[in-house]
Amino acid sequence: MRLAFLTSTPHSVQGGSGTFVGINVLQRALEAAGHQIDLISPPAGPMPFGHAAQRIGFNLRAGARLAALPQQPDAVIGFDLDGCLLQHQQPFVASIKGVLAEELQFEQGAVRFSLWLQSRFERRNVHRAPLVLTTSNYARIRIAENYGISTAKITIVPEPIDLPHWQAALAAAGSPADWAPTILTVCHLYPRKSVDLLLRALPAVLTAIPQARLRVVGVGPELERLLALRDSLGLRQSATFLQHIPFEQLAREYRDCAVFCLPSRQEGFGIVLLEAMAAGKAVITSRIAAMPEVVPDGVAGLLVPPGDPAALAAALIALLSDRARAETLGRQGAAHVTAYGAPQVAAQFIAAITPMLSAN
């Protein structure tokens, strides 16, 4: 099967975050299974007119780029809002990763307006597409409610993880240092990720476990505010912001942490949760949005109420002070994450779109 992937998301981890990772892993898994993928994405470089303008401009040109392919695809897969302006000549699938109408609720000012504008194009995309894919039941329900479509046209295909790639990177990282009560979080620093909540929970953790440390990987619009909050809480020695780091270093961070924590208030899925489980680490995350679907409570980690620093601190203390329990949850998570292996998810993806192709 030949597919065209249409995405205006920057094609790098630093620019495209989890959306890039999910698309990239799926593309490689489909190609490994014998399918051909034409990736249509923006050129690398700055976005002088802003993200929304860049995405709309990309979609204005997408039809011409699609027509210029040397061989026309069996289907076009448009991610998020992409493909919203196409005059469809091939079967079309809208694959929704983040539900922009949900994400904008956590933003203010120009960023909120930008996401609102993009969400209008995403709404158009899902209305015009005969099939909509998304990554969780939470996202399925929120797409239907926000954009006014039936859940009957929405199929769930979870995010994939390239487990051999992670296992090789962790093996190359070598044996971990001595066990230490280190908390790792990895995310793009948006308000909805609630890294500020983690900083506010940290003083209570340090009271119980003075040697505890927090390491934050990621960049984003919240960075300066979070650094100022860290310093105002007197946490400069206990919380390190690593910003964007190479993949090899990221593997070492996962290897060396005791627990992984993502206190986010909104996730359509959460690929970093898969990465933490693949590294055999217990996960602490919020009991909201898609997180309970990805991390089974008491099996691969602990779920806490969103926005509650005391509950978050209690969960962190519970695992950082009980190495055996943390390691048991990590082992169970490593077994659980195998269901999200890239070949299995790629097969689910093909199974989801095949009936639509057969009907055309």
59-76 pLDDT, tens digit per residue, is 999 999 999 999 999 999
- Cβ of 42: how many Cβ atoms within 10 Å? 17
3-state secondary structure of 48: coil
- Rounded to whole angstroms, the Cα distance separating 176 from 173 reads 8
pLDDT (average), residues 291-316: 98
The mean pLDDT value of the chain amounts to 93
Segment holding 330, helix H or strand E: helix 323-336
79-122 pLDDT, tens digit per residue, is 999 999 998 778 999 999 989 999 999 999 998 999 999 999 99
φ/ψ of 173, rounded to 5, equals -70, -20
Closest CA to 116 of 131, 126, 103: 103
Closest CA to 340 of 293, 289, 284, 287: 293
> Is residue 33 pLDDT above 90, yes or no?
yes
Query: What single-letter amino acid sits at 340?
Result: Y
- Cβ of 195: how many Cβ atoms within 10 Å? 28
- Rounded to whole angstroms, the Cα distance separating 48 from 269 reads 30
Predicted pLDDT of residue 17: 66
β partners of residue 39: 5
- Rounded to whole angstroms, the Cα distance separating 106 from 111 reads 10
Predicted pLDDT of residue 53: 84
277 within 8 A of 283, measured Cβ to Cβ: yes
Measured between alpha carbons, how far apart are the two ends of the chain, in Å?
A: 14
> Is residue 48 pLDDT above 60, yes or no?
no
Of the two residues 225 and 43, the one the predictor is more confident about is 225
Closest CA to 325 of 276, 274, 258: 258
Of 20-24, 108-112, 226-230, give the range with the top mean pLDDT.
Answer: 226-230
Close Cβ partners of 325 (under 8 Å, ≥ 6 residues apart)? 282, 318, 319
- Rounded to whole angstroms, the Cα distance separating 68 from 159 reads 30
Closest CA to 316 of 330, 301, 334, 306: 301
Predicted pLDDT of residue 45: 59
Here the tokens at position 315 are 């969960």
> Is residue 22 pLDDT above 60, yes or no?
yes
CA distances to 12, 87, 307 from 43, in Å: 11, 23, 38
**Which of 40-54, 178-192, 302-316 shows the lowest per-residue confidence on average (mean pLDDT)?**
40-54
241-288 pLDDT, tens digit per residue, is 999 999 999 999 999 999 999 999 999 999 999 999 999 999 999 999
pLDDT (average), residues 216-223: 95
Here the tokens at position 120 are 């209008």
Q: Can you give the pTM of this predicted structure?
A: 0.94
